[in-house]
Amino acid sequence: GYLGGAGAILFHGPFESAACKLLYHHDAAVICPSLDTDEMIAAIHAAGKYGMEKSINAKKLASDRFLLENFREQFWNGVTTLPE
């Protein structure tokens, strides 16, 4: 999977997509919405330059948002804080 790899995620797709917005908001990927060759090459270079930072942010995003234990904790915190 992406998050098991050592490098950054390079997202190549529409900027308006939900995946792109999520990754952009959390600075978890290098984003390249363009079909222009020069911009794609620049994005690949950026992935090499900022790969470690983006990778750390992506792993934090995955941990915070998508791990089962976090879902359980959020669910049970919501249940215990319901009004009587």
Q: What is the pLDDT of residues 32-57, one digit of tens each?
A: 999 999 999 999 999 989 888 998 89
Residue 18: predicted pLDDT: 93
**pLDDT value for 28:** 93
| 70 against 53, higher pLDDT | 53
Question: At a CB cut-off of 8 Å and minimum separation 6, what does 20 contact?
Answer: 11, 13, 14, 31, 33
The residue to which tokens 């529409």 are assigned: 14
Q: What is the DSSP string of 19-33?
A: HHHHHHHTT-SEEE-
pLDDT band (50, 70, 90) for residue 15: very high
Between 2 and 32, the higher pLDDT residue = 32
Which pLDDT does position 42 carry in this prediction? 96
Rounded (10°) angle between helices 37-66 and 18-25: 80
Q: What is the DSSP letter of 81?
A: T
Residue 46 structure tokens: 């950026």
